[in-house]
C-alpha cells in the first residue's frame, strides 16, 4: 500500500497533472505523476523511483533548456506529393544534394 505524503496539481487547457510524493509499504519513496485528459476523461500514470529521480530531473531540465534556446527544431514531414516529386526527380537523375536543397 502507498501513502501520499504531498500532492501538487498542474493544469493547462484540457489536461491536468497530479504529482504525488509517495511512500510505499516497502519503505521506499517515489514520485507518481498522473496525467488526466479532461476531454476524454482518460488518465495515465507513472511512478518514478527516488533512486533515479535526480537523473530524471536533469534530463527534463536539459530538454527544457534546449527548447527555450531554440536548439530543437521541429521535424518536418513530407506530404505524399512531395515524396512523389523527390522520387520522380531522383529517377530523372537529379543529384541528391540538389534534391536536399529543394526540400
pLDDT tens track for 65-91? 888 887 666 666 777 788 888 888 888
Residues 16 and 41 in one domain: yes
Give the pLDDT score at 67. Answer: 85
Closest CA to 10 of 41, 30, 38: 38
What is the Cα–Cα distance from 34 to 21, expressed in whole angstroms?
A: 12
Report the alpha-carbon distance of residue 43 to residue 51 in Å, rounded.
25
Sequence-distant (≥ 6) Cβ neighbours of residue 98 within 8 angstroms: none
Mean residue pLDDT across the chain = 86
pTM comes to 0.62
Report yes or no: 34 and 9 within 8 Å, Cβ to Cβ.
Answer: no
Query: 22 is in which domain, residue-wise?
Result: 2-72
User: Are 66 and 99 part of one and the same domain?
Assistant: no
Number of domains observed in the structure of the chain:
2
Give me the pLDDT at residue 100, please.
Answer: 76
24-63: pLDDT as tens digits: 888 889 999 999 998 888 899 999 998 899 999 999 999 8
Amino acid at each position: 500500500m502507498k501513502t501520499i505524503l504531498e500532492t501538487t496539481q498542474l493544469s493547462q487547457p484540457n489536461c491536468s497533472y497530479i504529482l504525488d510524493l509517495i511512500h510505499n509499504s516497502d519503505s521506499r519513496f517515489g514520485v507518481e505523476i498522473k496525467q488526466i485528459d479532461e476531454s476524454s476523461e482518460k488518465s495515465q500514470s507513472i511512478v518514478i523511483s527516488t533512486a533515479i529521480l535526480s537523473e530524471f530531473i536533469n534530463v527534463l531540465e536539459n530538454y527544457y533548456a534546449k527548447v527555450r534556446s531554440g536548439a530543437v527544431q521541429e521535424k518536418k514531414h513530407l506530404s505524399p506529393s512531395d515524396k512523389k516529386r523527390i522520387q520522380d526527380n531522383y529517377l530523372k537523375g537529379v543529384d541528391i544534394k540538389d534534391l536536399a536543397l529543394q526540400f
